[in-house]
Amino acid sequence: MFHTILVPIDLSETSISKSALDKADAIAQWTGAALRLLNVQVLLPANFLDYMPADFDTQQRREAERSLEKMALGLRVPPERVSTIVRVGGVYPEILAEADTFGADLIVIGSHRPAMSTYLLGSNAKTVVRHARCSVLVVRD
Ligand code: ADP
């Protein structure tokens, strides 16, 4: 069964993320797996940062850490089996990198229902399914 479950959380789409997290929480309870919540902070263009306070990145990161910790507190899995991490970079490369670092054997990821725009633009969920070395559960909203 599953031992290490990674749940990427988009903090700007918490309803979709919550749905995926609920499923991951339930699976972790049945299987005794460890759960890791991941948020990726996307790098902003350098010229945009010129207009932001000097510690903007640090503030955003701390805010994301706090949000993940708050979500983790609401889980039914015992706290000693739950961890959180914030990474900086591109969403799907960081999800795949953290899956390797954590040794995830399951990624539980949220996704909108497929739409024409999804096929044209691609999506993080699709790319993770295609490139992950472990099982991936896509939770539709
Ligand atoms: P869709 O698959 O519907 O096109 P996205 O690809 O934007 O939607 O997002 C799908 C999933 O990817 C989200 O539910 C979440 O699990 C993950 N994800 C998106 N953005 C982030 C982010 N910044 N940090 C962590 N995970 C993310």
Query: Is the distance from CB of 106 to CB of 27 less than 8 angstroms?
Result: yes
pLDDT in tens, 114-127: 665 655 444 899 99
The preferred substitution site among 41, 91, 95, 113 for testing ligand 1, maximizing ligand atoms within 8 Å of CB, is 91
Determine the atom of ligand 1 nearest the C-alpha atom of 17: 14
- What number of residues does the chain have? 141
Give the CATH number of domain 4-140.
3.40.50.620
pTM > 0.75: yes
What's the distance, Cα to Cα, between the start and end of the chain in Å?
25
Q: Given this model, what pLDDT does residue 96 score? A: 98
- Report angle CA 116, 11, 27 to the nearest 5 degrees: 85
